[in-house]
Amino acid sequence: MYSIQSSHADSHAAILAGTTRDWLKAMRGFERCGFKIAQHHRATDFFLFRKDGMGLRFSIMMVDLAERLEVGVIHVEEAKGRYRPESEVALPRELADELSVDRLVLCTEYGDIDSGLILRAKCGSEIIIVSGAYPFTVEVKMTPPLSGLERFEPEYGIDRYERKPMRNAPIDLRQSGQ
């Protein structure tokens, strides 16, 4: 398995496992989404699925930046077997088109952290996936809104994140575990 990690020592880039890099370049055809909900009633995983069964799992990994300062980094991987949501719902039709991907970057004195992603359709509809206010949780906001997603509590106010295109991410391809 491979992960895409930042080549800059002071940056925490999105962790894109396996062939996820290719999927993020040409994301289209997603029809369903789902969540894995923890005992504290917060989402720990968000899923997107296409008609052909291919799916992506979005989760958050926590990174210690300084003593008593921990922030969430977005993690994306193929949704296989054990990574399945408890239930799935249909996505709004507008979000089934090709989606462009932007990173949500938290800029701190300790470096830049990829804490989320924005998936945007050509019509302007989007899915915001970002680190939640509670450790290891993921928050999702969609336009048009999906019933049941009224609560949106990101780790930081959404205006604290810089929106940067995925194509400009400083990344190196390294094998996991190195």
Does pTM surpass 0.75? yes
Q: Is residue 108 part of a domain?
A: yes
With a CB cutoff of 8 Å and minimum separation 6, the contacts of 98 are: 26, 27, 28, 121, 122
Q: Is residue 126 part of a domain?
A: yes
Residue 6 CA from chain centroid, whole number = 16
Range of the domain at 126: 2-168
Q: Is residue 61 part of a domain?
A: yes
Q: Is residue 177 part of a domain?
A: no
Q: Count of domains in the chain?
A: 1
Q: Is residue 175 part of a domain?
A: no
Q: Is residue 137 part of a domain?
A: yes
Per-residue pLDDT tens over the stretch 57-77: 899 999 888 887 889 999 888
Per-residue pLDDT tens over the stretch 106-136: 988 888 888 999 999 888 999 999 999 999 9
Beta bridge partners of 75: 15, 59
- Cis status of the peptide bond prior to 144, with omega within 30 of 0: yes
Longest dimension (CA), the chain: 45
Average pLDDT of the chain to the nearest whole number: 78
Q: Is residue 125 part of a domain?
A: yes
Q: Is residue 178 part of a domain?
A: no
